[in-house]
A and B are shown apart, each in its own frame.
Chain A
Amino acid sequence: MTATATTTVTPALQLKDVSKTFGSVIALRDITLHVDPGTVTCVLGDNGAGKSTLIKILAGVHQPSTGTFLVKGKERTFGSPRDALGAGIATVFQDLATVPLMSVWRNFFLGNEPRRGLPGIRMLDTQFARQTCRTELLNMGIDIRDLEQPVGTLSGGERQAVAIARAVYFGAEVLILDEPTSALGVRQSGVVLKYIRQAKERGIAVVFITHNPHHAHMVGDRFYLLNRGTLTNEFTRDTVTREELVKAMAGGAELEALAHELKQ
């Protein structure tokens, strides 16, 4: 699976010369990138690099100030996250959009509740919901003991898994993950990376936003480096080693200078 030959595949998402300004602040400048189905595209950047703005444009929260946004080759403008969702772009934000006090299965189907019965008096299909929720979570390799337990009592990794499984189940063609591993420990991060791999194997275009080059390199097919609102580097998996990625991300020479400084 190579991400270099893109001539035959229509990218799931494409940004062309996209800029975003907030008043006098230029948050993003001339961003051009594409995301292919069945690949993991990593967007790497340090704090303040413009990752959040980029993600919000992709998710439909913000609209680009200039430039074009293409979904499956067609130019689109989204007014809200709901629009983006309708086009198959699901975003798992850092807050995960789960309601802590509600049970796992109710969260799983929140906003897309399955119903049955006659029109007008349609009730929740709770049995279907519970069963589907359990199967979908198992397919992601996660076994929740009790679907009735409030989501707030799950661990960070499990909550992340519920949010990802939900996005995948509801037909996401593009899955945008906002720093899914940033708050997790080593093992839990590994688990989440595994979910990312599984989503990719299902043919989903995954956009993995992170500031951790190690995590990115483990699952990524294409890497974009964002720095101070502009794309500074673009790599594909076969053209970059982890060390190069770390180095590029940290600003190469700067890191060496820092290492030198710390040695003294």
Chain B
Amino acid sequence: MSATTAAPKDERLVKTSRLTRTLRRPELGALLGALVVYALFAVTDRTGSFATITGTANWTDAASQIGIVAVPVALLMIAGEFDLSAGVLVGTSGLFCGLLTTNYGVNLWLAILLTFAFAAGIGFINGWLVMLTGLPSFIVTLAMFFSLRGINLGVTKILTDTVRVAGVGNVPSYDSAQKVFGSELWAPYNFKVAVIWWLAITAVATLVLTKTRFGNWIYAVGGDANAARNTGVPVRRTKITLFVLTAMSAALLGVINIIRFKSMQAGQGVGQEFYYIIAAVVGGCLLTGGFGSAIGAAIGASIMGMAFIGIAFAGWNTDWTFLFLGVILFAAVLVNTYIGRRAQGARK
């Protein structure tokens, strides 16, 4: 038999349509959800500004507060791991940066660098412990979450006698750092510069996932770590790198917040870790790993940003926000699972 002749076409197979290929995209459900949520709040809006540029500046600000960390968390989830310490690490990083400058007189730029290095260290410990012990990352990072929470309060109290770090606005180099991390763009709408950071992270993460070797490894270690190892993918290195990147994104948000608000509470960031995970899951990441996208997580963050702002603009009591998030989370997972199954062609 000639080596180059193709096997005859199998007549039992339906041609994959463009629709199926679209349905296979992990972020499709989130995109549809985002449109629905946007329409909902555009209609219920009582201030008349939700669907304007000002309104957009508002909800993208709220979304960037989640998205900056949610996108790396999504990458980590695709690789099959959780990071529950990402939220409280935002607080730790902000406090660390603030205390270095206000308490020890370190130059702000140097302090920012040290903060990133410090957070990278925390991320490395997370990843290294997970790989070393073989325990679920859920447990390891939960332990890290409580440890950091305790450290945040304890250290801040010892050093400042209060539960907050303040006065960052008065340290040298504040103005130059403020331009990079805390400024506003496009007057009079005043988009926060954090939105740019968020979009940039999403773009880079998408590029990495789809177009680089590392991205291939991320899907592989989450999809089947054993198979990945047998084909020569460095599983440990891939996962630890992602833990480090997640922690560094939390540091970025911590730095952004301490520069923007010039002070930070010791309890900052606690509870945020679930927002990141919700955004990733709403965006189509599988909890079991191996599937998802960065754009999806960014859309998930957008939905949450819209909900935070939209509920306030609609004049509803903001206490309802959490109910809304709960329903959105459940509905999104339901839709994603359904779409996913159809696209895999398994069960209908």
Contacts and interface: CB of A to CB of B under 8 A. Distances in A.
Given A110-B228, A123-B212, A149-B16, A99 B290 contact: yes
Interface stretch (B7-15, B146-154, B253-261): B7-15
Give the interface residue-count category, chain B: 35 or more
A142 B125 CA distance: 46
Interface string A122-153: 11101000000000001101110110111011
Contacts, number: 97
Contact of A110 (B4, B226, B233): B233
Contacts of A102: 216, 219-220, 223, 290
A187 B168 CA distance: 73
Interface string B215-256: 110011001101111111100000000000000000000000
Interface stretch (A12-20, A42-50, A89-97, A230-238): A89-97
Interface in B91-141: none
Contacts of B230: 81, 91, 93, 97
A106 interface: yes
Contacts of A141: 1, 3, 5-7
Contacts of A146: 16
Interface stretch (A65-73, A111-119, A209-217, A221-229): A111-119
B147 to A, nearest CB: 34
Nearest to B289: A101
B344 A110 contact: no
A98 to B, nearest CB: 6
A236 B345 CA distance: 46
A110 B220 contact: yes
B213 interface: yes
Contact of A95 (B21, B24, B226): B226
Contacts of B226: 95, 97
Contacts of A82: 232
A113 B223 contact: no
A221 B223 CA distance: 38
A120 B1 CA distance: 44
A52 interface: no
A76 B320 CA distance: 67
B347 interface: no
A85 interface: yes
A101 B291 contact: yes
Contacts of B348: none
A143 B4 contact: no
A121 B299 CA distance: 27
A85 B229 CA distance: 12
B211 A99 contact: no
B17 to A, nearest CB: 10
A113 B231 CA distance: 11
B232 A85 contact: yes
A98 B220 CA distance: 9
A190 to B, nearest CB: 13
B4 A101 contact: no
A138 B223 contact: no
Nearest to B21: A148
A141 B6 CA distance: 6
Contacts of A142: 7
Contacts of B219: 99, 101-102, 106
A251 interface: no
A74 B207 CA distance: 44
Contacts of B211: 123-124, 126
B227 A97 contact: yes
Contacts of B207: 123
Interface string B316-348: 000000000000000000000000000011100
A198 interface: yes
Nearest to B225: A99
Contacts of B229: 81
Contact of B344 (A81, A143, A152): A152
24 contacts: A85-B232, A93-B230, A99-B220, A99-B228, A99-B290, A100-B223, A101-B223, A102-B220, A102-B290, A106-B219, A110-B233, A111-B228, A111-B232, A112-B232, A122-B212, A123-B211, A141-B5, A141-B6, A142-B7, A143-B7, A145-B13, A148-B21, A150-B344, A152-B344
Given A99-B227, A145-B16, 17 more contacts: A81-B232, A95-B226, A101-B286, A101-B291, A102-B219, A102-B223, A109-B216, A110-B220, A110-B233, A111-B233, A141-B1, A141-B5, A143-B7, A145-B15, A148-B21, A153-B346, A198-B3
